């Protein structure tokens, strides 16, 4: 776990949404923070009046040179990184059949490969210090597949699976790993960080088509409060027994619990068929 007295935070994607809410909450507590965004001007205000404890930097996680520069600057100013929050990324909605190759690959570059690369850059310092916490913002879609979100869900499922392996590797070194799985939150995600390929195939209009439209319609009306989410993330970061998962919001909690229970029931229901694939005892 990180230094709980004066933890140094590094947060990607702080221009708006969860990243900004979390950066503001960390700053309010007087802790050092590296607040990043693709455009440094979008986070410059966070450092005003807090120049000694806040470092606002440009960081596009799809660019290795910017990852190297940002982590180097963070270590030069604060000497260490205790909490890494991988928040940068965006959504892409389409049916699986109608997904656009370039859009799919761009999303994976940001949501998956950029997250991987930034974590690799920060891990050596955490490993040397034998402490730290890697917090990955995934989504309820990282645990549940919804119509119209196949590629977005795939990117978040990838981070979830990778986080399982990361946790197994670094837990013995004193480094915690948690995935945060938000449901709908009032972050203007739909208007700001969501790309869509409209459904043209009639067969999908009542499933994916309706969900794409509802995603746009609900923007600004979601039940989730980003500031309360930030408080929950801070609580997890300081928890010596931090959980592997933190689902945020009632919608997410109910959806994930339902999906996980159904999954366990299915696995248990096919037990005999599963075990029949082994060689007989003694063979």
Cβ count within 10 A of residue 216? 12
CA torsion sign for 144, 13, 85, 103 is positive
Which one from 92, 151, 152, 204 is the annotated catalytic residue? 152
152 catalytic? Reply is: yes
CA torsion sign for 168, 104, 43, 231 is negative
In the block, tokens 């034998």 appear at 130
Inter-residue contact 134 to 175 (CB < 8 Å): yes
122 vs 9, 35, 57, 71, 82, CA distance in Å? Answer: 11, 15, 16, 7, 9
DSSP-assigned beta bridge partners for residue 175: 132
How many CA atoms are closer than 13 Å to the CA of 270, on its beta-carbon side? 8
Cα distance between residue 186 and residue 164, in whole Å: 28
Cα distance between residue 11 and residue 88, in whole Å: 8
Question: Which residues are identified as catalytic?
Answer: 152
């Amino acid at each position: 776990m990180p230094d709980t007295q004066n933890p140094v935070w590094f947060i990607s994607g702080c221009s708006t949404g969860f990243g900004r809410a979390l950066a503001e909450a960390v700053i309010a507590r007087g802790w050092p923070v590296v607040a990043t965004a693709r455009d440094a001007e979008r986070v410059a205000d966070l450092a005003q009046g807090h120049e000694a404890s806040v470092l606002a930097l440009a960081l596009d996680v799809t660019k290795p040179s910017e990852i190297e520069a940002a982590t180097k600057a963070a270590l030069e100013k604060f000497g260490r990184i205790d909490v890494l929050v991988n928040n940068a990324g965006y959504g892409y909605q389409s049916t699986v059949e109608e997904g656009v190759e370039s859009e799919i690959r761009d999303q994976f570059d940001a949501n998956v490969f950029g997250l991987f690369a930034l974590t690799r850059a920060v891990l050596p310092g955490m490993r040397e210090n034998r402490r730290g916490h890697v917090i990955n913002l995934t989504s309820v879609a990282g645990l549940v597949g919804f119509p119209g979100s196949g590629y977005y869900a795939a990117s978040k499922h990838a981070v979830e699976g990778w986080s399982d392996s990361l946790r197994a590797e670094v837990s013995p070194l004193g480094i915690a790993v948690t995935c945060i799985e938000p449901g709908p939150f009032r972050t203007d995600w739909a208007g700001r960080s969501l790309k869509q390929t409209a459904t043209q195939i009639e067969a999908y209009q009542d499933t994916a088509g309706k969900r794409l439209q509802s995603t746009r319609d609900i923007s600004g009306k979601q039940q989730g409060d980003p500031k309360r989410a930030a408080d929950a993330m801070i609580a997890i970061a300081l928890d010596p027994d931090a959980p592997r998962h933190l689902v945020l919001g009632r919608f997410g909690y109910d959806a994930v619990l339902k999906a996980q229970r159904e999954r366990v029931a299915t696995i248990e229901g096919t037990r005999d068929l599963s075990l029949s694939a082994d060689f007989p005892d003694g063979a």
